[in-house]
């Protein structure tokens, strides 16, 4: 329960939600096509050691934040889905080291995914909200969105850009911990891309700064900083257990409450920095 300390929860996450990506030869991800397209090196190897990392949520509260320079000062910057930097660098920076996309975007906005240059920078990572936690064959036969064709088409267009697939076990191992630390039952849907991205960066970096996950004083119903769509559910959650994710991260925050209110910033120790 929540009476466990910050370090205990970090150690639970580290032990039970290891960073896991699909490798060529994993179950159905076999054969020449997957051999050619799935990165043979691990993410740690591709990115090298990272001291400080920024996780930039797509939140509307980043608009007019002027956080761009601070964000770019990190060794690596993670962004999500179709969140752009062009035209917004004053608020969100211009560096993109990694980008996590969901399979829904890849399939339902395929033409854009294959054409928009914003996806071509840095390392790409995709995930699919499959209900299967362990059985890769079951998942391959019946993903939430059938991403295989888009993945392979993208790889043919950008053969040198590393493009990883997160193992679906990660989202459910993380979900289990979210449920254990929540006082009430949470919906059986996978954690948001943002929450999964925090876990990925805790595995890769010594220290991470997360921007506008816990909202600042700029909080409003503006969904994304880059488009004028208004909906409180973007910040408070609907399909994803977003409010439970935010409670957990609030509990883990090592920065001050003032950083949250003024900047929308949370500071977390990477897994390597905690003595478990």
Phi, psi (rounded to 5 degrees) for 42 = -75, 165
Q: Which stretch binds ligand NCC (CB under 6 A): 54-62, 174-182, 250-258, 260-268?
A: 54-62
59 binds ligand NCC (CB under 6 A): yes
Which residue's CB is nearer to ligand NCC, number 22 or number 210?
210
**DSSP tally for the chain: helices H, then strands E:** 14, 9
Q: Is 103 in the site for ligand NCC (CB under 6 A)?
A: no
Supply the angle between the helices 242-252 and 6-16 in degrees, to the nearest 10.
Answer: 120
Q: Which of 96, 78, 37, 83 is nearest to 203 (CA)?
A: 78
- Shortest reach from residue 96's CB to ligand NCC, in Å: 14
- When CB distances to ligand NCC are compared, the closest residue is 194
Residue 80 interacts with ligand NCC (CB under 6 A): yes or no: yes
CB closer to ligand NCC out of 41 and 230 = 230
Residue listed under structure tokens 């299967």: 132
Interacting span for ligand NCC (CB under 6 A) from 6-14, 36-44, 175-183, 193-201: 193-201
- Told to check if 253 binds ligand NCC by CB under 6 A, we report no
Determine the interface stretch with ligand NCC among 90-98, 137-145, 157-165, 191-199 (rule: CB under 6 A).
191-199
Name which of residues 212 to 231 contact ligand NCC (CB under 6 A): 213, 223
Site size toward ligand NCC (CB under 6 A) is: 20
Q: Round to whole Å and give the CA distance between 176 and 170.
A: 10
- Report how far residue 26's alpha carbon sits from residue 182's, in angstroms, rounded to the nearest whole number: 33
Tell me the closest approach of the beta carbon of residue 243 to ligand NCC, in angstroms. 10
Alpha carbon of residue 65 to chain centroid = 21
Cα–Cα–Cα angle for 30, 31, 33, rounded to 5 degrees: 105
Contact residues for 177 (Cβ-Cβ < 8 A; gap 6+) = 9, 12, 13, 16, 17, 248
Residue 244 lies near ligand NCC (rule: CB under 6 A): no
* Alpha carbons 170 and 30: distance in angstroms, whole number: 21
Q: What is the largest CA-CA distance in the chain?
A: 53
Q: For ligand NCC, what does the binding mask look like between residues 105 and 144, x meaning CB under 6 A?
A: x---------------------------------------
List of residues contacting ligand NCC (CB under 6 A): 57-60, 80-82, 102, 104-105, 192-195, 213, 223, 234-235, 239-240
């Amino acid at each position: 329960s929540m009476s466990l300390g910050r370090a205990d929860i970090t150690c639970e996450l580290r032990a039970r939600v290891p960073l896991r990506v699909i490798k060529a030869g994993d179950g159905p991800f076999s054969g020449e096509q997957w051999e050619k397209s799935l990165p043979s090196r691990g993410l740690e190897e591709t990115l090298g050691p990272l001291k400080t990392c920024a996780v930039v949520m797509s939140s509307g509260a980043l608009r007019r934040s002027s956080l761009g320079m601070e964000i770019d000062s990190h060794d690596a910057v993670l962004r999500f889905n179709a969140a752009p930097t062009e035209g917004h660098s004053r608020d969100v920076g211009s560096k993109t080291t990694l980008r996590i996309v969901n399979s829904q975007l890849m399939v339902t906005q395929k033409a854009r995914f294959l054409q928009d240059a914003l996806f071509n920078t840095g390392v790409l990572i995709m995930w699919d909200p499959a209900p299967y936690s362990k059985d890769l064959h079951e998942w391959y036969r019946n993903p939430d969105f059938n991403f295989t064709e888009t993945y392979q088409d993208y790889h043919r267009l950008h053969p040198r850009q590393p493009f990883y697939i997160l193992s679906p076990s990660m989202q459910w191992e993380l979900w289990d911990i979210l449920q254990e630390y929540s006082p009430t039952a949470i919906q059986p849907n996978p954690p948001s891309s943002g929450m999964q991205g925090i876990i990925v960066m805790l595995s890769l970096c010594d220290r991470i700064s997360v921007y506008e996950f816990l909202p600042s004083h700029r909080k409003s119903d503006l969904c994304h900083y880059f488009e004028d769509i208004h909906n409180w559910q973007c910040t408070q959650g609907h399909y994803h257990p977003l409010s439970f994710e935010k409670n957990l991260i609030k509990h883990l925050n090592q920065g001050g409450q003032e950083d949250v209110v003024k900047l929308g910033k949370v500071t977390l120790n990477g897994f390597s920095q905690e003595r478990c």
